[in-house]
Amino acid sequence: MLTKILFTIGVILIVILVFRVKANRSQPAPSDSEEAGGSLSVKVVTIIVIVLLMAISSGIFFFQYQADNRIVNIRVISADGTSTDYQARQKSIRGRQFKTLDDRMITLGESDRIEMDDQ
């Protein structure tokens, strides 16, 4: 959701910059010093927007990576009441199947119960 909002804001800013540049070109040519100053501000704004979008994207990627690699304690309780404890990464849990930290693939039966707890 946040990515969609940031992408929309980025597109709006780019459209504003494009129309601003077109409006400056349609006006009569000012002296050289004024033109360089206006052109510089458009470049600076563009660079700031790009750097800001890259920083936000990097932050989103980092936090998503961190959440996916969080280690979860999993307790599987079978129908007869015995329990087995496992540890797995959050990204390796897929419904009633998960891969443990020691690369074992565990598939739960219909009668098995699962309890998950973050470390």
Pair (106, 56) in one structural domain: no
Residue 88 CB neighbours (<10 A):
19
Residue 24 structural domain: 2-68
Query: Does pLDDT of 33 surpass 70?
Result: no
Beta strands in the chain (DSSP E): 71-77, 83-94, 97-100, 105-107, 113-118
Does the pTM surpass 0.75? The reply is no
Number of structural domains in the chain: 2
Pair (61, 90) in one structural domain: no
Pair (61, 91) in one structural domain: no
Pair (55, 96) in one structural domain: no
Pair (37, 78) in one structural domain: no
- Distance (Å, whole) CA 114 – CA 12: 46
**How high is the pLDDT of residue 77?**
94
Pair (53, 97) in one structural domain: no
**Measured torsion, CA atoms of residues 66, 71, 74, 100, in degrees rounded to the nearest 10:** 110
Pair (45, 98) in one structural domain: no
The tokens describing 71, both together, are 């280690």
